[in-house]
Amino acid sequence: MDSCYHALGFREPPFQITPDAEFFFPQPQYLTAIGHLRYGMLTGSFSVITGEVGLGKTLLCRYLLRNLPDDVQTAFVFNPQQNFLEIIKSVYHDLSGESTDSSSPADVQKLLYDKLIAINATGKRVALLVDEAHRLSPEVLEGVRLLSNLETDKRKLIALLLVGQSELEHTLKLFEMRALRERISVWHRLQPYSRAVTVNYIRHRLDCARLRGSFGLTLPALQAVHWYSKGVPRRINLICDRAMLMAFLDQRPAVSVGMVRTAAREVQGWDA
């Protein structure tokens, strides 16, 4: 399959759905989200980023982790379907490089607190970034909130950054989550792309992967991708990838509207 893309002039597939930070699209809402998360890291705040499926939240996390402020050390939870003990063990391992066999949450929290104090003494800040945070149970979320109580006289020892689907919003609106809600200093919601942003996104991905030539999508095809994808990046990628394969097989110099229509029908089963 890679030979197909190479023949079209690309070093790699432009529309993979894996969260490759090399393809990060510096669209204003993403830059705003990055700014909010960085603010949370540097101030010890509780920050929340939410958005529907396919809007690029995991890619946002990966890009942030690759472009951290110099004085920030992170723990990253990408599988939040764990209990609180497993979560804090994972955080402790990320920060210390050490594991613990303790089955006592209190003991592990003491280890974590001591490690945070040691990191703080070096002048660094610590941030816990949780991707897929909508999978956290209310009980685990409450435990995570209690981590925000870890502090010195001068500052918080750990910033908490939650990134998840809209289900996270519903959980945070529960009555028993009111103490956590009061801690949230930044809450940003990602939105689907407009037509203009969709066009720029597609061109950005093509340029990132291009080796040579000018293969692309016609302007009507670009606009059709937005129509069928509703501006959701994952859908855009699926449609464009399939349409490019059609263009390759038909030996066409560009993707047409008809190819986009057929691709949308094939990859999503829509009545396109």
Residue-level pLDDT at 2: 73
Q: Does any domain span residue 3?
A: no
Report CA 168 to chain centroid distance, whole Å: 14
Q: What span, in angstroms and rounded, lies between the C-alpha atoms of 131 and 163?
A: 5
- Reduced to 3 states (helix: H, G, I; strand: E, B; else coil), residue 171 is helix
Contact 208, 216 (CB under 8 A): no
Q: Does any domain span residue 12?
A: no
Q: What span, in angstroms and rounded, lies between the C-alpha atoms of 187 and 160?
A: 12
HSE toward the beta carbon, residue 234, CA cutoff 13 A: 14
Q: Where are the alpha helices (DSSP H) in 26-73?
A: 28-43, 57-66
Give the contacts of 145 (CB within 8 A, at least 6 positions apart): 46, 160, 179, 180, 183
Choose the final residue of a domain: 189, 209, 234. Answer: 189
Report CA 217 to chain centroid distance, whole Å: 27
The predicted-structure confidence for 135-147, as pLDDT tens digits, reads as follows 999 999 988 888 8
Sign for the pseudo-dihedral over CA of 151, 152, 155, 159: negative
Report CA 13 to chain centroid distance, whole Å: 20
Choose the final residue of a domain: 189, 211, 244. Answer: 189
Q: Does any domain span residue 167?
A: yes
The predicted-structure confidence for 7-26, as pLDDT tens digits, reads as follows 999 999 999 989 999 999 99
204 and 185 share a domain? no
For residue 177, give the DSSP letter.
Answer: G
- Reduced to 3 states (helix: H, G, I; strand: E, B; else coil), residue 85 is helix
Choose the final residue of a domain: 140, 164, 189. Answer: 189
182 and 75 share a domain? yes
Q: Does any domain span residue 88?
A: yes
Average pLDDT (38-66) is 92
pLDDT value at 271 more than 70: no
Count structural domains, the chain: 2
The predicted-structure confidence for 159-215, as pLDDT tens digits, reads as follows 999 999 999 999 999 999 998 888 899 899 999 999 999 999 999 999 999 999 999
Helix-then-strand count for the chain, H and E: 12, 7
The predicted-structure confidence for 224-265, as pLDDT tens digits, reads as follows 999 999 999 999 999 999 999 999 999 999 999 999 999 999
pTM for the structure as a whole: 0.89
The token duo for 258 is: 């008809």
Residue-level pLDDT at 163: 95
Q: What span, in angstroms and rounded, lies between the C-alpha atoms of 91 and 127?
A: 10
Report CA 102 to chain centroid distance, whole Å: 31
Domain membership of residue 155 as a residue range: 28-189
Q: What is the CATH number of the domain that holds 228?
A: 1.10.8.60
HSE toward the beta carbon, residue 138, CA cutoff 13 A: 12
The token duo for 268 is: 């999503």
